[in-house]
């Protein structure tokens, strides 16, 4: 008696045979113990493989991936050159602020240190955005989300060249981004653990990060710009030629 | 073709396939994203989207396109965070099981690995044959050999693990 080969038996097991072939294998299996055993051993090997693969699996990040896919779909058509210029502008602005934060006795450094210690509004430092809005045209647009698992990311993309950005430490439990002036036209998008800001005209963006967030990242156009890890800030700023260099600024511990 | 519906339908399967193939969730997500973005430029019937996506994604893995796609990546939004992490002993054991499975997979030929993982995602023999450019009639044989090979090397991995204990 000719035995069935394993490939055909596996195709039988997988339902990949046509009706006539399947009937032929059925007839053979009814008479051939060896092939029936082979079929069972293939079934076991198949189950073992499936169960081994399941060990590797993690949940797919469907919602976050769908949001990212939607973003890439929207951005696909054009605007690359313009965005590149805007990116350069915002990186230079950001560099000035964060770079000065790393210098001893700089106003920005004093401001960050004071904010870390919990002062409401350090003298000479940048103004912390008030909760109550001023005149309608100055009314801040904003959006906030809870930091997730001690982590938060704030993303800024394609801001106008005239826009300014500030990073503020707070005692709250929410990461918030507020925009004033024409920056209030910016569009805000949120997803688990992140806020994204895009568009907008001249004005100011204020990023509020609670001190309780152990890990926070502010990204500008996809590049890390400022990282908060525990009690320290790390600013990643453009080097003179290319790439990035890191400036470390450890903040005063909370009293 | 309703791309959003295709995305919702096939992203989980493609992510799982890529994660099993590469072992890295960020890479799996990056390459899945890139594959769907490339799908936007295609005019395909919806029924052909799945095999097309998996073939493109497999080629991206093979070509090491990860670096290029990572530049497009906004951020790592997602990290699995089980509400109650397993105790340390269980974690070690789980890690060892994962390592054993990965080591066994790594010992398969690339084509065998691709075939077995596509089969797990419900591909027909015809689709698998087109993906690896072989005759449909040979897919069963290739799969059976790959399954046997995996069982053999995985058993050795498990024996080695038991011996170390």
Residue-wise pLDDT tens digits, B9-52: 999 999 999 999 988 888 899 899 999 999 988 888 888 899 99
pLDDT at B80: 40
A77 CA: distance to closest CA in chain B (Å): 11
pLDDT at A117: 35
Please state, in angstroms and rounded to a whole number, the distance separating the CA atoms of residues A183 and B62. 43
Please state, in angstroms and rounded to a whole number, the distance separating the CA atoms of residues A126 and A167. 10
Give the residue from B39, B40, B75 with the most A CB atoms within 10 Å of its CB, the best one to mutate. B75
Q: What is the distance of C-alpha A115 from the center of its chain?
A: 26
Domain boundaries, chain B: 3-72, 88-164
Mean pLDDT, residues B59-73 taken together:
60
Cβ distance B101 to A55 less than 8 Å, yes or no, reads yes
| Nearest residue of A to residue B99, measured between CA atoms | A56
Please state, in angstroms and rounded to a whole number, the distance separating the CA atoms of residues A166 and A140. 14
Mean pLDDT, residues B73-84 taken together:
39
Residue-wise pLDDT tens digits, B91-136: 788 888 899 999 999 999 999 999 999 999 999 999 999 999 999 9
The residues of chain A scoring below 50 in pLDDT are 78-139, 238-255
pLDDT at A101: 40
The C-alpha angle A82, A84, A88, rounded to 5 degrees, equals 120
Judging contacts by C-beta atoms under 8 Å, the chain B residues touching residue A42 are 144, 147
Cβ distance B144 to A7 less than 8 Å, yes or no, reads yes
Nearest to A56 among B19, B81, B141 (CB): B19
> For domain B3-72, is the CATH number 1.10.1740?
yes
pLDDT at A209: 75
Backbone angles phi and psi of A176, in degrees to 5: -135, 150
Judging contacts by C-beta atoms under 8 Å, the chain B residues touching residue A193 are 77
Judging contacts by C-beta atoms under 8 Å, the chain A residues touching residue B153 are none
Element (H, E) at A88: helix A80-101
Q: Is A194 on the interface with B (CB under 8 A)?
A: yes
pLDDT class of B151 with cuts at 50, 70, 90: very high
DSSP for residue A148: B
The Cβ-side half-sphere exposure at A231, using a 13 Å CA radius, reads 9
Strands A244-250 and A232-238: antiparallel
pLDDT at B96: 87
Domain boundaries, chain A: 6-56, 62-250
| More confident site: B55 or A203 | B55
Please state, in angstroms and rounded to a whole number, the distance separating the CA atoms of residues B13 and A179. 40
- In the CATH hierarchy, which fold is given to the domain comprising B88-164? Arc Repressor Mutant, subunit A (1.10.10)
Q: Is A16 on the interface with B (CB under 8 A)?
A: yes
């Amino acid at each position: 008696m000719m035995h069935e080969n394993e490939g055909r038996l596996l195709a039988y097991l997988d339902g990949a045979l046509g009706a006539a072939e399947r009937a032929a294998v059925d007839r053979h299996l009814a008479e051939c113990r060896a092939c029936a055993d082979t079929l069972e051993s293939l079934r076991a090997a198949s189950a073992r493989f499936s169960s081994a693969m399941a060990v590797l699996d993690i949940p797919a990040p469907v919602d976050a991936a769908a949001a990212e896919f939607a973003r890439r779909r929207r951005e696909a058509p054009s605007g690359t050159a313009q965005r590149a210029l805007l990116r350069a502008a915002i990186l230079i602005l950001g560099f000035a602020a964060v770079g000065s934060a790393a210098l001893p006795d700089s106003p920005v450094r004093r401001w960050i240190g004071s904010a870390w210690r919990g002062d409401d509004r350090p003298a000479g430092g940048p103004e912390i955005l008030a909760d109550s809005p001023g005149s309608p045209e100055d009314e801040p647009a904003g959006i906030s989300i809870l930091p997730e698992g001690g982590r938060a990311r704030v993303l800024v993309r394609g801001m106008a060249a005239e826009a300014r950005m500030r990073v503020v430490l707070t005692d709250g439990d929410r990461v918030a981004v507020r925009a004033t002036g024409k920056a209030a036209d910016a569009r805000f998008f949120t997803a688990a653990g992140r806020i994204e800001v895009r568009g907008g005209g001249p004005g100011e963006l204020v990023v509020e990060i609670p001190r309780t967030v152990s890990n926070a990242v502010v990204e500008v156009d996809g590049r890390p710009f400022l990282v908060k890890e525990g009690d320290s800030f790390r600013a990643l700023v453009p080097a003179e030629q290319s790439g990035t260099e890191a400036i470390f600024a450890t903040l005063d511990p909370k009293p | 073709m309703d791309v959003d519906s295709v995305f919702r339908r096939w992203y989980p399967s493609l992510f799982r396939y890529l994660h099993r193939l590469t072992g890295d969730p960020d890479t799996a997500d990056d390459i899945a994203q890139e594959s769907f973005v490339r799908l936007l430029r295609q005019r395909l019937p919806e029924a052909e989207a799945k095999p097309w996506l998996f073939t493109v994604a497999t080629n991206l893995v093979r070509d090491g396109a990860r670096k290029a796609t990572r530049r497009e990546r906004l951020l790592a939004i997602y990290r699995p965070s089980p509400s109650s992490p397993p105790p340390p002993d269980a974690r070690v054991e789980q890690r060892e099981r994962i390592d054993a499975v990965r080591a066994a997979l790594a010992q398969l030929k690339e084509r065998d690995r691709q075939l077995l993982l596509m089969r797990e995602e419900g591909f027909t023999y015809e689709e698998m044959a087109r993906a690896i450019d072989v005759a449909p009639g040979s897919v069963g044989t290739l799969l059976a050999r790959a399954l046997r090979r995996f069982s053999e090397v995985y058993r050795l991995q498990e024996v080695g693990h038991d011996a170390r204990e």
